[in-house]
Structure 1
Amino acid sequence: MEFTPDLSVPANCGKRLLPAVLDEIAANDPTRIFISVPKSSHLSQGFKDIDYGTFSKAVDKYAGWLRTQFDEHAGQETILYFGPLDIRYLLVILDTPKAGYILFFSSNRNSIEAHQSIAEMARCETILVPDDAPIILDQILKTLPWKTQIPILPLSYFFEDLDKAKHIPFTLTWEEDKDNPFCVLHISGSTGVPKPVFVTYGTFACNDAHQLIPSLGGKPKLVNFLKGKRYFLALPPFHAACLTFSIGYNNFAGVISVIPLPSRDSTCLLPSLLPRPLTADLMNEIYKHGNLGGVLSAPSLIVDCFNNTEYYKTMLSNIKFISYVGGALPAEIGNESYLAISESLGHTFVQHEESGYHELVIKRDPERAFLQGVFSTFPDKQTFNSGDLSEQHPTNLHSWAFRARTDDIIAFTTADKLNPITMESTISTNPRVKSAVIGGQGKFQASLLIEPHIYPQNGEEEQFIKDVWPTVLEASRACPAHAGKPIPRARKGTVQRQGALHLYKSEFEELCERVQPTIKKEVTNTVAAKATIPELITPAAQKIDTPAKVLPGLLDAVIQTAFAQMLSGLGGGEAASQATSKPLTNSTDNGNPVINDTSIDLAIGVTSPLKLSGPSLYFDDSNLFDVGLDSLQVKSLVHVLNQYLTRTHPGVGELEAKLVYEKSTVREILEMIQVAMG
């Protein structure tokens, strides 16, 4: 589980450039493990270790190839890479600077508008195009005015004939280039528009300098604790936190990064790997066969494993530690997560009056410059406000626990974040809405609280929702009422969000529990994973008494609704938004749904391609994960299907989410349900 190469702290620690470190290790310790990847989609076959000697040669081969794609007099181009979530992200981020260019990563969750905005702000006009790229890349290529589109050779090419690969020396020096950009990432942006961040070599090097912080006899520093351990990274490879470990602590401190199955690839390096998003089922297999020391994950994956007794036991018996980033872990999972931050960083906690918590603030100190890499990326700042609000431990005054964000960015358990301010402002433009507040901190998904100008009376709620829903769709093409207590406002008339969330805390909790429970330790009445399709749902003695053709219509409608917002986010979404706004049923029979022609109409819409503002993305035989389906949407879809099955066939077992991962096209899902119900 651990290895013992020479991981002593070098004399130039904190003053090393990442590509140069890669070359140095490859020359002096070529058999040290750089990264570990699955051998196949059958994780029981184990993982393949790739050493520094091999990976460094692949980087050189890639860098040499990339140079041939530009005129020799070309300047320092900024290049966008947007591909399958696999090892290529690590390859391109290390080879691009060796070729003389700057790499730019944009999240696969961004909308077309967001991609366009941050590409323009980053002055990026060149894009690398893998042949097996995510489907949204087709929209990006057609929508944005790229000066240069460079098709990338298959991954296997860069790992073949490595003995013939020409070494590309990295000639930059610390003193001259520490404050120059290494890569371009992006932040969410306080206005809702992502903003590019030119991350410097010096900022990444502060991860190296962490080895110099004295421990003072307390708990080991994170970087020292992880040295030599195999560390599974359950995060997207373009994520800043993931890169900190996959190329930062990896190169600087000998952490072995273990990464998931790629989105898809059929190369000799990773043969016959099928698209498999990270789920609790997959994590259970990784725990068993990854030979891991620990895991870095979004909180939602930890929650999913906790909710399954088998997976929970596997997790506890196969790994020594779990860490999480990007969101809040529910208190039900374990103890409060208090952290002690070394005073060597030059930080302080400043009282945040609105919330009562304290914000972590770093103050520039020339004597601590090697530990304050943030000021290399933001050289004009004298202080850096993290935006993280923490609460001090009642007795251990050096320990703090994260509680919220100053800018009200909502952190979900999926590690996704949502800026509610822009959405709330848009929703409040509806003539029937006085104000809107979005909640969801520490939850799986967002919830919306609306204060109407005139409260609907009995029987008017449905019409109110119909009137407001188009504005909700307009506010977010990718996201998701109660009356009596007025939403609190400041003197100037603005909504006090924290006050509103506190006042309506019980309502938000009830809504979240009703829609999607976060913690459910004992899982009951679920369908066994190995059941055959006819066993998945046992039809009740009384079969459904609606016409046979209506069932596919309703299921198609459910699927259409579950994915319409996602698809509208990919393509601009007029058709998807229209589909979502149509009701599936009329609730006229004592509250029980009566299937109407609308659901059949929606079914017809799904059987042909869903037309967006660009090319067709969505067919009955399309793999929904290629379109962009994620674990949140899978859970929502399964939740809706189970609600329908419980209504129409009381007493049947519930579908498990893993079924959608195995049957991941619209046609397969419909056939599965139809066969099961006879």
Structure 2
Amino acid sequence: MFFSSPRNSIPAHANLFKILECKVLITVNPTLPMAPAIIEATGVRAIEYPGVDDLLDNIYPLYPFTKTFAKARKEPLVVLHTSGTTGFPKPIVWNHDWVASWSDWLAIAPPEGYTNQTALWTSYAGGIFMTLLNAVFNQTPLIYPLAGVPLSTQIVLEALNHIKADSVLLAPPFVEEIGKNPEMLDFLVKNIDVLLYGGGDVSQATGDKISKRLKLSMIIGSTESGAYPAIFPSDKWPSNDWKYFHFHPHAGIELRPHSENRYEAILMRNSDLRNCNRYFPSFHLWMNGKHTIYTPLILLFPIMVIFRTK
């Protein structure tokens, strides 16, 4: 299954569909505005996904999946893409092996006196982490917003009036709105345990205000590597350090000097941590800097030892 961002231009959609040889576009009702243009540009066949009522009211035949992990491990599970900031987006394929190794990476036992912060997450790639991988590996029930309705902070709060949730994952603009609205913050303090955010920064003032009353945690990662393993002290939630990310000491991640007062996160090659180099098995280091690395690099440069993304 390929998930293309609705923010892509029609030429970008068409280029990705061509590279991946897509034949079918799954749409929903109401249809997203760009769907007809994508169909016209690519010639793909459109299939409308059943609505929630249809899925709940009808009985569908089972679809057996009989392959063992050994047989399926190299087969694609989902396909995402890079941001496209330097041209057309490039596809990134997650196979079953990558997903399994990523889950192992997050499951590294924490040091004594610490807890795995990543395990708390109902966590582009971030949507897959939350809606598919976290649901499967952590057996986490997920609450989805209504389809076809523009997402807003108020809709999230209204949903919490009808169902209990342990945590909420929001984009930074929604977090900023909560920090400026005392009533919204009061409501969340009474109804959830953790507020998560990812995909951007939250201002210091907003984060300080929220973290004094509610556990606030950010998600860091990339489409290529997955979410990074993090830890926090078991005896106390680090409320004052909400803007800091404590990498798991055994995750193979180092911070090295980059420029004045700046450090670069580097994923080290480690024989005990397959996931650190799942995409780049020939690299000794993966420099995670300004630009992203995508899968074809390992095919174009199979003997590279170091790849710097600056």
Name the CA shift for 1:181/1:211 in 2 (closer, same or farther; >3 Å). Answer: same
* Aligned residue in 1 for 2:268: 363
Contact 2:257-2:264 within 8 A present in 1 as well: yes
Mapping of residues 233-312 of structure 1, within 5 Å: 239-263=124-148, 275=149, 277-312=150-185
How far the C-alpha of 1:309 sits from its partner, in A, is 1.9
Aligned counterpart for 2:48 among listed residues 152, 158, 177? 152
User: Which protein is bigger by CA-based radius of gyration?
Assistant: 1
Contact 2:39-2:46 within 8 A present in 1 as well: no
**Given the two structures, how large is their TM-score scaled by the length of structure 1?**
0.36
How far the C-alpha of 1:378 sits from its partner, in A, is 4.4
Mapping of residues 210-229 of structure 1, within 5 Å: 210=105, 212-225=107-120
In structure 2, distance between residues paired with 1:176 and 1:382? 28
Contact 1:351-1:359 within 8 A present in 2 as well: yes
Name the CA shift for 1:199/1:153 in 2 (closer, same or farther; >3 Å). Answer: closer
In structure 1, distance between residues paired with 2:136 and 2:117? 15
Aligned counterpart for 1:342 among listed residues 238, 248, 260? 248
Mapping of residues 72-471 of structure 1, within 5 Å: 103-144=1-42, 146=43, 148-152=44-48, 154-155=50-51, 156-162=53-59, 165-210=60-105, 212-225=107-120, 231=122, 239-263=124-148, 275=149, 277-333=150-206, 334=208, 335-336=240-241, 337-353=243-259, 356-369=261-274, 371-372=275-276, 375-379=277-281, 381-387=283-289, 406-407=290-291
Report the 3-state secondary structure (helix = DSSP H, G, I; strand = E; otherwise coil) of the residue aligned with 1:285.
helix
Q: Deviations over 1:91-148 (max 9, x none)?
A: xxxxxxxxxxxx111011111122122222323243234453112111111223x2x4
In structure 1, distance between residues paired with 2:27 and 2:152? 27
Mapping of residues 496-575 of structure 1, within 5 Å: none
* Aligned residue in 2 for 1:474: none
Contact 2:10-2:37 within 8 A present in 1 as well: yes
AA aligned to 1:309 is: P
Contact 2:255-2:263 within 8 A present in 1 as well: yes
AA aligned to 1:285 is: E
AA aligned to 2:182 is: T
How far the C-alpha of 1:246 sits from its partner, in A, is 1.7
Name the CA shift for 1:166/1:133 in 2 (closer, same or farther; >3 Å). Answer: same
In structure 2, distance between residues paired with 1:247 and 1:138? 27
In structure 2, distance between residues paired with 1:319 and 1:153? 32
How far the C-alpha of 1:301 sits from its partner, in A, is 0.3
In structure 1, distance between residues paired with 2:162 and 2:29? 30
How far the C-alpha of 1:348 sits from its partner, in A, is 1.6
In structure 1, distance between residues paired with 2:74 and 2:257? 32
Mapping of residues 592-603 of structure 1, within 5 Å: none
Q: Deviations over 1:226-280 (max 9, x none)?
A: 5xxxx5x7xxxxx3112112211211112222221221xxxxxxxxxxx2x2223
Name the CA shift for 1:210/1:377 in 2 (closer, same or farther; >3 Å). Answer: closer
Identity %: 23
In structure 2, distance between residues paired with 1:241 and 1:125? 25
Name the CA shift for 1:123/1:352 in 2 (closer, same or farther; >3 Å). Answer: farther
Name the CA shift for 1:127/1:283 in 2 (closer, same or farther; >3 Å). Answer: closer
In structure 1, distance between residues paired with 2:16 and 2:264? 28
Mapping of residues 613-624 of structure 1, within 5 Å: none
How far the C-alpha of 1:207 sits from its partner, in A, is 4.3
AA aligned to 1:128 is: I
AA aligned to 1:112 is: I
AA aligned to 1:343 is: P
AA aligned to 1:124 is: C
Report the 3-state secondary structure (helix = DSSP H, G, I; strand = E; otherwise coil) of the residue aligned with 1:116.
helix
AA aligned to 2:244 is: Y
**Given the two structures, how large is their TM-score scaled by the length of structure 2?**
0.74
Gaps of 5+ in 1: 1-102, 234-238, 264-274, 388-405, 409-678
Name the CA shift for 1:368/1:311 in 2 (closer, same or farther; >3 Å). Answer: same
Gaps of 5+ in 2: 209-239, 293-310
Q: Deviations over 1:586-641 (max 9, x none)?
A: xxxxxxxxxxxxxxxxxxxxxxxxxxxxxxxxxxxxxxxxxxxxxxxxxxxxxxxx
Name the CA shift for 1:316/1:343 in 2 (closer, same or farther; >3 Å). Answer: same
AA aligned to 1:364 is: R
In structure 2, distance between residues paired with 1:287 and 1:128? 30
* Aligned residue in 1 for 2:222: none
Report the 3-state secondary structure (helix = DSSP H, G, I; strand = E; otherwise coil) of the residue aligned with 1:384.
strand
How far the C-alpha of 1:182 sits from its partner, in A, is 0.9
How far the C-alpha of 1:178 sits from its partner, in A, is 2.1
In structure 2, distance between residues paired with 1:203 and 1:215? 22
In structure 1, distance between residues paired with 2:273 and 2:49? 44
In structure 2, distance between residues paired with 1:368 and 1:380? 14
Q: Deviations over 1:153-207 (max 9, x none)?
A: 5334444442xx3332213322333233211111113514211101111222234
AA aligned to 1:283 is: V
Contact 1:296-1:324 within 8 A present in 2 as well: yes
Q: Deviations over 1:63-115 (max 9, x none)?
A: xxxxxxxxxxxxxxxxxxxxxxxxxxxxxxxxxxxxxxxx1110111111221
Report the 3-state secondary structure (helix = DSSP H, G, I; strand = E; otherwise coil) of the residue aligned with 1:105.
coil
Name the CA shift for 1:322/1:190 in 2 (closer, same or farther; >3 Å). Answer: same
RMSD, matched Cα: 2.5
Contact 2:256-2:265 within 8 A present in 1 as well: yes
Contact 2:80-2:93 within 8 A present in 1 as well: yes
In structure 2, distance between residues paired with 1:280 and 1:131? 23
Name the CA shift for 1:160/1:284 in 2 (closer, same or farther; >3 Å). Answer: closer
Name the CA shift for 1:246/1:339 in 2 (closer, same or farther; >3 Å). Answer: same
In structure 2, distance between residues paired with 1:317 and 1:153? 36
In structure 2, distance between residues paired with 1:380 and 1:113? 33
In structure 2, distance between residues paired with 1:361 and 1:301? 30
